[in-house]
A and B are shown apart, each in its own frame.
Chain A
Amino acid sequence: MTLAVGDVVAEQTYHLTRDNLVRYAGASGDFNPIHYRDDFAQSVGLPGVLAHGMLTMGFAVQPVVDWLGGDSGRVTDYQAKFTRPVPVDAVAGAAVTVLAKVGAIDDDGVRIDLTVTFDGATVLGKAQVRVTVPA
């Protein structure tokens, strides 16, 4: 497989629902009510219930793992900043799109840069995934 900087390796849209947030709360132990109660979220100045940042970060790397044939062991580093919240509507949910492009290629492997967008704006900053290339 020959890769070049700028190549799109994956693009995927995820439809997040409140159901996902409840399940992630249980799985992660993060029961902060901003992730399941609109009244509480609004009382602390948020637009409404938000997705957990780690949930967004977690599923945003999945298209890259899929591209690696499911071999998550080839992901050696993953970083991102939670730059904008993802409000998840009780009825409509939230559609989050992940675009994964080759950002750099060096002796250690490949850096994949993720552009993760909700409602036309990016929600993760400097989202970069380091992956090794098979020998």
Chain B
Amino acid sequence: MSDFRDLTTLRVGGPAGHLVEASSRDDLVATARDFWASPDDWMILGGGSNLVVADDGFDGNVLRV
């Protein structure tokens, strides 16, 4: 499991629940549709700036672009 400390510029933060990296436009759209169809919380992760995550992390779907 990935930790937000390895995904954000501030290098803090706990586990990123279910992390999926989108490698293409089609991949991005397909993964986003999967996430939106799921009852779980979701978030989009870009370059990891403007993001401070607690040690508890985020227990949901994380779509990394």
- A residues within 8 Å of B by Cβ? 28-32, 52-54, 82
Contacts and interface: CB of A to CB of B under 8 A. Distances in A.
Given A30-B50, A52-B50, 10 more contacts: A28-B49, A29-B8, A29-B9, A29-B49, A30-B49, A32-B47, A32-B49, A54-B50, A54-B52, A82-B50
B50 A53 contact: yes
B29 to A, nearest CB: 23
Interface string B45-56: 001011010000
A52 B8 CA distance: 15
B interface, by DSSP: helix, strand, loop or mixed? loop
A29 B50 contact: no
Contacts of A28: 9-10, 49
Interface string B1-29: 00000001111000000000000000000
A30 B8 CA distance: 9
A82 B50 CA distance: 10
B47 to A, nearest CB: 7
A29 B47 contact: no
Q: Which 3 A-B pairs have the closest CB atoms?
A: A29-B9, A30-B49, A30-B9
Nearest to A31: B9
A52 B49 CA distance: 9
A31 B10 CA distance: 11
Contacts of B10: 28-29
A30 B50 CA distance: 9
Contacts of B50: 30, 52-54, 82
A28 B47 CA distance: 13
A82 B52 CA distance: 15
